[in-house]
Each structure stands twice: as structure tokens, then as C-alpha cells.
Structure 1
Amino acid sequence: MTCIASAFKVLCLSLLFVAAVASRPTNRPKVFNVQRYGAKANGKTDNAKAFTNIWKSACTRKGGNSKIYVPKGTFYLGGVEFVGPCANQIEFVIDGTLLAPSNPRDIKKDTWIHFRKKNNLIISGAGTLDGQGKESWPLNDCHKNPSCPKLAMMGFAFVNNSRINGITSLNSKMGHFNFFSVHHFNITDVTITAPGDSPNTDGLKFGFCSNINITKTHIGTGDDCIAILSGTTNMDISNVNCGPGHGISVGSLGKNKEEKDVNAWLNRKRHSI
């Protein structure tokens, strides 16, 4: 009887343990595969509406984080804006190619892909943002042509506690990544590429940002690798391979009285071509 009672006790404890483990939340994010929500990977269909709808679903989800997944394939994408605030953290995983319109007039905004008012954002993956800038570069003459078209880039505004890693940005029409009022942001293992003679294709541009960390990143463009503008502070740059391009610059300061100070650290391990 003693053996039976002991065995029964062990069985009960085992069942209680299994039930406790099963009842624990997994904390796994809900995955929003863009193809399952109507996006087409044919390089022709404009997926802007599908991506906007997916973002809304991921952003408003309660009770857990969200992951938007772009699988391998070419997803044509007109101008699109992803706006918060959101109820959760969102990870945007890009393993395919996001393809911009080749004609700059097909994007009616000054940003191609714009993240705004979203904290706790992660952009990752082995994918490519293809700006198809070759057709736009001859039009980049706004300094002498007041009717020049808007040349869109990827932008972040009021995005905090976030990061990008592993993404490639290719042949942007103008600057590749523009950051405005972004704080506590990490950029790691990012590749930014455009021909050395492509005009105004800055790699990373920052204005009124703080606590920015850039590391293990390759930037080769026709303009500044990193442009540090008014009001940007606490920036740490290390292991950045820069070239072709104009290098890392602190520019466009002194024109207006309201411009703020800039401070940044260039780690000794940074490699520059």
C-alpha cells in the first residue's frame, strides 16, 4: 500500500507539473506572413495597400507581440507609411526584396517607406530594399530646378528603443535611411550600396536624434556615408566600412541660429576606405 501511495503521489505531482508548464504563456509573437494576407511576390503588383492593412492588424494586436514576415520573392511597393503608436512590439522580418517604383513620380511622397511614432520596432532579415534609383539620379537637380520631382527614401520619425540589423539597402533614389527625432536606436550588420557617382545618395542621415549606435556596417554611396545634422547627440560609430562616398560628416550647421549642437564618438576600430 505504501508503494502504491508513493507512486500515486509522484503521478499527481507529475501531472501538476505538466499542467503548470502547459499553462505558461509562450510569449511567441503572432506571425503575419505578407503572402497569406494578399501580398504578391511578382515584382509588378503594388502591395502598398496589403502591407498597410497587415501593419494595422499587427499594430493593434493585444496580448502579445507581432512579427510581420516578408518571405523570399520580389514585392513591388509604392509609397507606404507605417504609423504607431502600437499596442505591442513589432518585428519586421524581411527575407525577400522590397522593390520601389523605377519612376520617381509613382511615389507621391518624399519617403518611400516611412515608420512614424512607433517604439520597440525591430527590422531584421537577409532581404534587400531596392530603391531602383538609376532612373531618378539624373533628375536630382533641385539646386537649380525648382520643379524637380520628389525623390523618396526610407525614413524614421519619432521612433525610439528600436533597431535594424542584417538588411541591405540598394540604389536608393536619394538618401537611403533618414532619421528624425529618433532616440535609442541600434544599426548593426547593415549594407548600404549605390554607385560612387550617384548624387545625394547619403547612407545614414540623422537630425535631432540621440543615443544612436552604428556598428559592423558597410556603406558605399555617392554622397556621405553618415551625415550627422543639427541636434544629434550621443552617437557611437564603430566598425563601419565607408567607401565609396564622402565619409562621415557633420554638416549643414551654422546657417540658422536655432541649430543645435552635435556630438558623436568614432570608435578606433572603425575602418574607412
Structure 2
Amino acid sequence: MSVLVAIPARFASTRYPGKPLVELKGASGASKSLIQRSWEAACAVQGVDRVVVATDDDRIRSAAEAFGAEVVMTSSDCANGTERCAEVLDALGGDFDIVVNLQGDAPLTPAWFVEELIAGLRADPMSEVATPVLRCDGRALNGFLDDRKAGRVGGTTAVFTKDNHALYFSKEVIPYTPARYPDTATQTPVFHHVGVYAYRPSALGAYPRWPAGPLEQLEGLEQLRFIEHGHRILCVEVESRGRQFWELNNPEDVARIEAMMAQMGVA
């Protein structure tokens, strides 16, 4: 089965304009843009046939082409990364069995997250979309709670059925947790939704034609459109294997991600 990875990247982010071109310093002191680090993460995934950056901005296109990425220009009308991936699929002729959306703000995404995601979707013919979830340890959960207390969105959480089909995703911390956990806790009831998606082309192609529902509009979470229109999302539980993971959502996250890269030795 052929696999395409598309990395949506837009300059005009509401919370963080110009985010894809923000420089992140690695453990070696080398500085690379967020979009380059996300592209390198995508290129490390095994079993992928093609990797492209999807953008509507010439500044991002120029930067991506300078470090060797293939770029597909998309419309500025795309409401989110999923719509942008749908345009990429259409532009490239749709000749893929699975399309992966590796969002351009998650440079620490381990390759095995995506590999296990692809394997999970292949093994579940009833699901049209798959996305990874990572059980929070105490430190991660407390970071989410601290961010919400400070009025920041620190990440997205997910709840799902016993057979791993999504019930809901939220920028709030769900399920409700009545108390903080010790930072050393290895098990909490909260799952961090990792912002990567694998789609079957039929579902991805249909997505832009569906209107955004009230839940998607309230939460600002594109995957809720699938749920609101009755389509099944498989949540694939992945393991961190000691690796830290964080998305760059706010300017404050730059220092946090750089510290993680330094600790993990990411150049």
C-alpha cells in the first residue's frame, strides 16, 4: 500500500504568526526552522513513499525548497490541515492508499508513532481515519493542567471506547481528574492526542465537502468533523519509549521544546 505524508504549514497562524519558520536550536547548537525539523521527522518514518510540504505561503515554500523538501502549493482558503491534505491528494492525482497528515508544529514526533498509526489503519478496515494517543505520565498531565490554569492550550486529550474508537477530543483535560498526579506517576487516566492523522483517501476527499459542526467550531479541532458526520476514528495507543513529546502551539513552547531536544540529544 502506497503512503503519502503531507506536512501542512501556514504562515498566518492566529496564535503564532510565522510559526513554521521559527528557529529551534538543537543539542549541538545548530538552529533549524520548525518546518525543517518536522520534515526531517517525516523523512525518518519507514514505509513512506513520498513526503511533501503543503503550504499557501511563498516564504514557507522558499524555505522548504532550500532544505530539499518537495512542496505542493495549496489554497489559502483551507480551514485546517486536513483540508490542505485533501488538496494535496487531489493535486497529486490521488494515487495513494493512505495519506498521513504530520502537522508542521510537532517536530519531536517519533517515527514509530507514524509507523504504528499506518499499521493500525491497515489492520482495521472499519475505520476511515487513525490517530495516535499517548497515555500521560504525571509530569505531562500536570503540564496540561498548569497550561489550562494559565489560560494556555497545552495540548489535546482524547477519550475512546474499549475497542479504541474515538468518542471525543478536547483542548480541556478529559476525563475529569480530581487531583494532580505525582510527576513520577507512570499511569494516569488521561491520553494526550498526538496531532498526526492517517486517512483513507475516500474519507479525506469527502472531508472538505462536509460543513464544520458546532463541536469543531467550539474546540477548534479539525478531527471532530469526522465524528460529527458519523465517521469512525481509530485511536492507536503508542508508547513514548522514554522520549518526550510536545507540540509548538504558543511562543512559550519554543524554550520547552529546545530543552527537550537538548535533553534527548537531538541535533
TM-score bucket (shorter structure) = under 0.3
Normalized per residue, the structure richer in helix is 2
Which structure is higher in RCO with an 8 Å CA cutoff and minimum separation 6? 2
Higher strand share: 1
TM-score normalised per structure 1: 0.23
Max Rg structure: 1
